[in-house]
Structure 1
Amino acid sequence: MISPIPPRPPSPALGWLLLMPAAAGTLISLVLPSVQTVLLSFESGGALTPSTPAGLANYDRVLGADGPYWAALGFSLSLVLLPLLVALVAGPLLALALDRAGGLVRRAGAVVLWLSLIVFSPTAVAASWLRGLRADEPGLTSLARSLGDPATAPGALRLIVAAATFGVVCALAVTAFLPALRGGAPGRAVLAVAGVVALAIPAAGLQAFTIGVALTRGGPRGATRTLAGLQYDYGFVAAQPGMGAAVATVTGVVLGLLGVAAAIVVVASRMRLSITPRRADLPPAADDATAPGGPREISGLAKTGGIAKTGSVATAGSVARTGSVATTGGAAKAGSPVAVAVGVAALVVAVAVTLVLTWPWLSAFTEPATSTGAGLRTHVNTWVPALIGAVISVGTAYLAALGIGGLRPLGRRSEWLLLPFAPWLFVGVGPLSVAGWSNFRGMRLLDTFLVLVQPFLVSVPALFVLTLLCKGLAERTDRDLLSGVVLPSLPMAGVLTGAVTLVNAQDVLWPLLVTHDRELATAPVVQMLQLTQFGRAAADVALTTPLPVVVIALLAVVAAQILHLDRLTLTVGGESRSPVPETSA
């Protein structure tokens, strides 16, 4: 049987062309504000007064022996110690239990855990805990007293953050570790994922802002002030942008180093994502040893070099080892009764612990909230700009991922093209907020609907994930770029767009800085104002998680988990089997 001639791959020059929008977006929305932040850190003066050169004076005040930076740094990192333990211990164990329990338990468990991500809102968490702390519940009353004492407030806030984020951390960890457990060398893949997770969570802690500001406002006597809170106090409360920029610069350097380290782990381990084929996608006679396309013919083709030359058989190496076209990870295989019982029990325990730790948030829904006039306009302000920002940032990232991972302009070294983007892998809006606010003020866009769109033109985390997926798809297909890479990767682009939309909608810092018109307030800003202006017991806890959005997001998650996410496999190492010709670097 003569194999069909594979389609001619597109020119690698197209890969460079697809990379250009993300490169331009990174230059405009990430590199330029970073440079401006550094330059602002060497200036003194207020937001409304002339700027004058300050040399290293701002850094001396921030980083000196009596400077507040080191205390804020230590407290910010301490906030993520318990979440990091959950992510690196409970997360992999829960993922392992769900994976061994089989497809049904694994998919159901992932959807249940994702619900924690869908409904998570930092301002709602703070509002619910403030309500609980004001109640007469014995356990929470002692915790409320602890928040008022400089000696005990840091420990109390650490416990609140760990409790409030337990379900979210579990969900993110399971989502990260499940694909790694389904590859050919799960031990190495899990270690690589753990390395990235161990870098990502401290990076998140360095930018923690909302819960601490809402609960304690950095007090008492600065005992619970985070780095993001310190930057906000200098740059916007005290109107000293140079001091705020100094804090942001040092924090940005640390975040950049963490991002570069994560990128090196990803690239050096030769990490890739692939999609396990459904049984319906396999050749009809794949299990017939004598039929065309069966194991015997595949073995014969392998001896003649047909597989190696054309890449027409797309497997993860299981064909050579088992003589079959079984899919990697065995998505359709059910676990043993013991494995199913263990998986269900682990899921029940995780859900029960999450419910107990988030009880203040759950109980707050049963209490009436004082109406403050938030209505349809508030939700439009929240979700429309969030979706626009997600479509733009993930869209540019997707084009670049097709160029880097799908077309491989530098051959097997193409993933190193991610390195220029790596310093901003973990950077949120906080470290760039001083320069960003100044830029939009200069363009006279403050207090406009347009400024509610997050200022990032490219999502670097989405770029990394989509590049790994496009790489894995390109290595395992003999089809053209459209059918072999673009169409299979579109669902992941949609999932990431939804995830970025949720993150954008729950951000409170950026809309709080750039809008003062109450008609432009987003739901998190309204909640924050309710906490600070209308009394702590008056906040509407459900404002940031409206029921229609929760239902739509949950339905999307169910569809994505069944049709796409449950089929993802993460592998490391191995040689590229891409039919795309490699060019010399």
Structure 2
Amino acid sequence: MTSEQPFPAPPAHLSADPGRSAGPSRPVRTVVGLLLLLPALLALLWSYVLPSVSTLVKSFQRDPLIGTVEQVGGANYERILEMGFLGAFSFALGLALVPLLCALLVAPLLAVVADRAGRAARLVTRGLLALPLAGYAPVAVLVFWMMHRSDPRVLSESPRLTLIWIVGITSFGLVVGVAATFFLSALRGRRAGGRPGPAMLVTGAVLALGVVAAALQTYTVPALLTGGGPARRTATPVLDAMQNSLIRMDLGPGSAISTILLAVLGVLGLTTVGLLLITRARIEWDGWRDRPASPGIPPAPSGIPPERAGRPLFLVLLVVALVGFLAVTAYAVLFPWVRAAFSDGELPMGATSGGIFVNTWLPPLIGAVVSVTLAAVGGFAIGGLRPLGRWSEILLLLFAPWLFVGTGPLAIANYLRARDLDQIDSLIGLIPPGWVSIPALVAFTLLFRGLEPRWRAGGGFARTVLLPALPLLPLAVVVSWLISAQQLLWPWLIGQGPGSWTAGLVAQQVLYRRIATDDAALALVLPLPMMLLFLLVLVAAQITYLDRLAIRVGRR
């Protein structure tokens, strides 16, 4: 279906001059923009900058947690090198190999085929891509794999290859689903007569950097399956930091590992944001209907419209690709999760279903609402109000070093802060420590950067900015909530008694103590009603909203 373009393109003289505006004047935009950015900057300082400085300082100390703190210079760095830190770092990079293949080969091919197969096929594909994220329950899946699909002999003989295989197959659906979603948005330029190649390349580069950053911070897989053994062969930097610090009661070596990891992640984050700035990447809203085909596209042979040429072939290829995608996802993730969702058994002594549910889902919800809201306000301040004019996006460089930083690299500093604030073993302590979502901040900035020219050209604020951006807020909250609720590291640091255990911690207890083969704890990791809620939200977002967003680069 085609229709007129929902919003008129801004006049060229307005697009070329960021100083001219049909909205607030430049001084007002500058003042209001910087004021709106202030909460995100304060959250950045509290959640990332100060813990990073604390981690750096602690890396030059010997801190036994209980006792006298001593300055040891660079001894901790020498110690972690002698203990095999480089081996842990290289193994973590190895865990990224299969996900990189999925993100850079499988996902773009699936996106291209779906895009060429037509609008209906594309929407069906988008709906199916939401399934792996809605069923995201890594702890339950890994416990199932350890109990039912892992051969102890193979795990002891080839531990690294086994974990690389398990990570690859269990993350296949999630990586392909997320990456293909981004690639489909990058392909929207083709239907408007543009060339999506540059946007595809930028999208692939950002996804690759993100996959590498996530692999370097892997904790759950080795913590559950091998504990870093045998002989530290499956240790990753984050697991190594936790074992060297909070288990061996010396925060220095773990802080040294975390400092090196922060430096590497900082380079990856700065590279990503720099790439987005150099290529002038943005997210544009194409309205609620497809734009008409460009008159410059030549007709297809035999009088077939260009958008329909070759469509049957792409439909066949898409069906084959989706069957394979669903088969691997069902085998690796969905079947283990469904089996766990309908299992029964006993909970560890002192744990209750109601308490586990509250501990698992309430603190991450609070953290997601606050962190994403601050990100949305900050993104509007940078990309919408543009307080520094054409240089406004440079403000993202303040946040860039922590773009990919998760809980692990700052876990020691945040644990010490929670201990000093008497939040250990408490519900408030279970709230994830990051009070601003930097990935969401970057996404909102790119979106408002794409929406702002229409507002500046005289369009109403509600129609050109507010309504196109508003759905992204609850979607980002839901995604952040789900991912945070499935964390294992932070609850492990805070939940030191049954009253503050999350479902992931209880599932870990099930695995370690072998309480039962099928246990009620696994069903609590991602209860079926929660999974259906996430599935409904994500499918609706894919079909009605994300399909209308376009990732574009270069000049308008």
- Output the TM-score relative to the length of structure 2: 0.88
Distance 1:154 1:360 in 2: 25
**What is the percent sequence identity of the aligned residues?**
38
Q: 1:125·1:211 contact (CA, 8 Å) conserved in 2?
A: no
Distance 1:271 1:530 in 2: 46
Matching residue's letter, 2:261: T
Matching residue's letter, 1:393: S
Aligned to 2:72: 54
Q: 2:341·2:526 contact (CA, 8 Å) conserved in 1?
A: no
Distance 2:253 2:175 in 1: 33
Aligned to 1:504: 484
Distance 2:63 2:450 in 1: 52
Change (3 A) 1:518 1:566: same
Q: 1:73·1:226 contact (CA, 8 Å) conserved in 2?
A: yes
Q: 1:130·1:536 contact (CA, 8 Å) conserved in 2?
A: no
Please give the residue correspondences for 1:528-567 in structure 2 after superposition, counting only pairs within 5 Å: 528-535=508-515, 537-539=517-519, 540-567=521-548
Aligned to 2:43: 25
Shift in Å, 1:517: 2.2
Distance 2:222 2:509 in 1: 15
Please give the residue correspondences for 1:68-107 in structure 2 after superposition, counting only pairs within 5 Å: 68-107=84-123
Aligned to 2:270: 260
Matching residue's letter, 1:412: R
Distance 1:451 1:366 in 2: 27
User: Quick check: 1:224 aligned with 2:205?
Assistant: no
Please give the residue correspondences for 1:187-266 in structure 2 after superposition, counting only pairs within 5 Å: 187-266=197-276
User: Quick check: 1:432 aligned with 2:410?
Assistant: yes
Shift in Å, 1:486: 2.3
Instruction: Please give the per-residue CA displacement for 1:462-508, whole angstroms capped at 9, x wherever unaligned.
Output: 00111111111112343243432123201011111110001110001
> Is the partner of 2:471 in helix, strand or coil?
helix
Aligned to 1:154: 160
**Alignment partner for residue 126 of structure 1, among 122, 129, 142?**
142
Change (3 A) 1:367 1:385: closer
Please give the residue correspondences for 1:448-459 in structure 2 after superposition, counting only pairs within 5 Å: 448-459=426-437
Distance 1:366 1:488 in 2: 36
> Is the partner of 1:148 in helix, strand or coil?
helix
Change (3 A) 1:165 1:176: same
User: Quick check: 1:445 aligned with 2:423?
Assistant: yes
Distance 1:218 1:537 in 2: 23
**Alignment partner for residue 178 of structure 1, among 178, 184, 187?**
184
Q: 2:130·2:539 contact (CA, 8 Å) conserved in 1?
A: no
Aligned to 1:14: 32
> Is the partner of 1:476 in helix, strand or coil?
helix
Distance 2:341 2:527 in 1: 15
Matching residue's letter, 1:565: L
Q: When the two structures are aligned, how many residues end up with a matched partner? A: 518
Distance 1:7 1:409 in 2: 15
Aligned to 1:116: 132
Aligned to 1:295: none
Aligned to 1:371: 346
Distance 1:334 1:28 in 2: 55
Change (3 A) 1:211 1:91: same
Aligned to 2:4: none
Instruction: Please give the per-residue CA displacement for 1:492-540, whole angstroms capped at 9, x wherever unaligned.
Output: 1111111000111000100110121211111111111221234473554
- Output the TM-score relative to the length of structure 1: 0.84
Shift in Å, 1:415: 1.3
CA RMSD, aligned part only? 2.4
Q: 1:114·1:557 contact (CA, 8 Å) conserved in 2?
A: yes
User: Quick check: 1:341 aligned with 2:316?
Assistant: yes
Distance 1:566 1:45 in 2: 52
Change (3 A) 1:146 1:22: same
Q: 1:166·1:354 contact (CA, 8 Å) conserved in 2?
A: yes
Change (3 A) 1:335 1:105: farther
Aligned to 1:137: none
Matching residue's letter, 1:147: L
Matching residue's letter, 2:434: F
Larger Rg: 1
Shift in Å, 1:67: 3.0
Q: 1:131·1:360 contact (CA, 8 Å) conserved in 2?
A: no
Matching residue's letter, 1:180: A
Q: 1:402·1:486 contact (CA, 8 Å) conserved in 2?
A: no
Structure 1 regions of 5+ residues with no counterpart?
A: 134-139, 288-317, 323-329, 576-585
User: Quick check: 1:67 aligned with 2:83?
Assistant: yes
> Is the partner of 1:105 in helix, strand or coil?
helix
Q: 2:242·2:254 contact (CA, 8 Å) conserved in 1?
A: yes
Distance 1:43 1:556 in 2: 47
